[in-house]
Structure 1
């Protein structure tokens, strides 16, 4: 019996290996690689061209043309863009809006996801649907109601120089948090549902309360999801232009996405300077993504494997 089974198993192993080899080297795989390579090149061309343009003086570009090679190269455009655009102030505004929004969004979304995914109560599914349905409304539809609402909310002048939530960075944080919390709740609830219920039961047997279960048991297990969501939220909030434009009137309180307007001339545009300013605004998001790349990919892979 052993002598007849072993050759059959060996043949099945050879057939499986050859099948995997054909699939790995098949035309579909090479077609996918070709498509992804072309797509990556098309995405990188504008970025690389902006970097190249930012390193050239405007005089050389005017003399030789934008689609040319030659002349001098340097970082003078970056220094001029940083000074002329006031990037330090705008970076501070963007940092406050982004950090506060991401922290508040992930904190409240994780609490809501914990409530609807780890406990069975009457309105948990209904509440999750309501949070998710809020993302179906475009921000432009609610811009006027939110503007009027923020104008009616009275605050002491010691806190707000406008006497309301308008023209305040806190108002932008509130608006962004309200629109992002539904998406994060939906994603985190799916992650938490995949965590075995036995962990919560064991924690309750040991005398752990609801807060201890949330903070000491569930939250450490959702770190990949939090890292992936945090990376996405940083990019979303940092690049947001709509809510600051609607809710803030003072120029010195606008985020970094508006700093490039200071580099725009009234009658002439220096595209070399604008390219340098655009590269400066992109650097923080690239640094954050590279720093959290492993956690970001782990979060996406975990979501894919657990359905």
Structure 2
């Protein structure tokens, strides 16, 4: 009889544990739902404003549902702001900057996490500490340095690094390497050391260990970081505006300035322009969503 009576309290205890965990998840879901709504409200409001003609907004007010809804503001913003040209400039800046950042960061992460030498921890601390420095502090020194770097006029119409894509690509790469190195080094440390030890026994050098063994295993982490870096660099407004004086080389984030009126601002048109700039990053995130989530959650179940 005592043996048959034992399963009952176990079932009750399991049910109690399920209820407790359910309550915890219930609170978490409420918090995440509230945060998601708070993040989506500005985007939804911009889209709502962009779909309304300015005349209807002036007539009924911004907090109203009256009037018509169409895509005229998007068409006008695209043509008036020259978004096609500025979007190409953003691609020219973003793609090389992201590829260079991931390449250099992966090499640095391999050096500080998979190779035992004297300064690996010191270098990792230096790269991590660099993320604590506000980029704006280096704006004036970098501007002066680029101004005094002489280049042939066949390469740069300014005779220096200013007003070139290279200046923006170099600065974006430099400021993003620290963050990517920190993330990739932690990811590489979780990989088994037997992989590189076996390759070393077979005669594989450092480059072969990095390129053929470790780097392919880091694809989820590289995909997650690549998605983040595309968003970070694509949305960068400060560095292009500082280093590029020629309007035909500015990225798409600065094209919204072309929609500003001299005496009056059409906020419906500005909302349409801002929404257009969001679309490329949204598409990239949706395409790489599975790899992005896998890269963030991989290794979370390890003890």
Interval of TM-score (by shorter of Structure 1 and Structure 2): over 0.9
| 1:306, distance to aligned residue in structure 2 (A) | 5.1
1:113-192 map, 5 Å: 113-192=109-188
Kindly indicate whether residue 33 of structure 2 is the aligned counterpart of residue 37 of structure 1.
Answer: yes
The answer (yes or no) to whether the contact 1:224–1:299 under 8 Å persists in 2 is yes
Secondary structure, counterpart of 2:298 in structure 1: helix
How many pairs align? 303
Q: Which residue of 1 aligns with 2:16?
A: 19
Write the deviation string for residues 104-163 of structure 1: whole angstroms up to 9, x where unpaired: 000000001011111101111111111111111111111111111111111121111111
Q: CA deviation at 1:263?
A: 0.5
1:96-115 to 2 correspondence within 5 Å? 96-115=92-111
Within 2, Cα distance between the matches of 1:167 and 1:47? 32
SS in 2 for 1:25: helix
- Give yes or no for the alignment of 1:213 onto 2:213: no
Q: Which of 236, 242, 247 lines up with 2:243 in the alignment?
A: 247
Residues 194, 306 of structure 1: 8 Å contact kept:
no
Q: CA deviation at 1:34?
A: 1.9
Using the TM superposition, name which of 39-48 and 267-276 deviates more.
39-48
Match of 2:80 among 84, 103, 107: 84
Give ranges in structure 1 of 5+ residues lacking alignment: none
**What is the CA RMSD across the aligned residues, in angstroms?**
1.8
Q: How far off is 1:32 after superposition?
A: 2.3
Q: TM-score scaled to structure 2, two decimals? A: 0.95
For the pair 1:296 / 2:285, whether they are aligned, the reply is no
- Relative to structure 1, the CA distance from residue 20 to residue 266 in structure 2 (aligned partners, 3 Å threshold; closer, same or farther) is same
Tell me the alpha carbon deviations over residues 91-116 of structure 1, each in whole angstroms, 9 at most, x when there is no partner: 01111111111100000000010111
Deviation of 1:50 (Å): 1.1
